[in-house]
């Protein structure tokens, strides 16, 4: 079981450390909400967690099926619903090489849909995954 310790710093900044890891992670509230906006916000981290998880499980599938995975990228668009503020949608765009055949693409897309973060988010949070296999 991983344990993460989070402490409040000042001016809406937090510091998180994970047991056994030397790295520290900071969050800030965006400037428009009274924070410094110098770090990712907690909802930015959620979007980043989804994107990182999707790429990781896709890379694991690529390794299992001996597919080259360099150059695959993604972006996550975060849509926030105002008053009361909450995430309305996370829209993910995955881009990869056109050299993948149809079977390889399906394997990678299926892996993306089984990302643990994707599977853990509440169904009311709209998640869209789009794939474009056109990069050289």
Are 75 and 46 contained in the same domain?
yes
Q: What is the dihedral sign for C-alpha 73, 21, 47, 119?
A: positive
pLDDT for 45: 95
pTM (two decimals): 0.90
Which domain CATH number covers 121?
A: 3.30.300.20
pLDDT for 54: 97
Measured between alpha carbons, how far is 136 from 133 in angstroms, rounded to an integer? 9
For each of the chain's 136 residues, which pLDDT tens digit applies? 779 999 999 889 999 999 888 889 999 998 888 889 899 999 999 999 999 999 999 999 999 999 999 889 999 999 998 878 889 999 999 999 888 999 999 999 999 999 999 999 999 999 999 999 986 5
Are 110 and 50 contained in the same domain?
yes
Measured between alpha carbons, how far is 6 from 23 in angstroms, rounded to an integer? 13
Are 52 and 115 contained in the same domain?
yes
Structural domain for 9, as ranges: 4-33
- What secondary structure letter does DSSP report for 58? H
């Amino acid at each position: 079981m991983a344990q993460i310790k989070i402490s409040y710093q000042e001016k809406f900044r937090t510091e998180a450390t994970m047991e056994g890891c030397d790295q520290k992670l900071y969050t800030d509230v965006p400037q428009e909400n009274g924070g410094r906006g110098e770090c990712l916000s907690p909802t930015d981290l959620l979007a980043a967690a989804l994107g990182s998880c999707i790429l990781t499980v896709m890379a694991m599938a690529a390794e299992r099926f001996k597919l080259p995975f360099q150059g695959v990228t993604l972006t996550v668009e975060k849509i926030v619903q105002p008053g009361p503020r909450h995430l309305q949608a996370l829209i993910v765009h995955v881009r990869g090489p056109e050299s993948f055949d149809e079977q390889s693409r399906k394997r990678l897309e299926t892996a993306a849909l089984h990302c643990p973060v994707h599977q853990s988010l509440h169904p009311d949070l709209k998640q869209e995954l789009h794939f474009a296999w056109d990069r050289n």
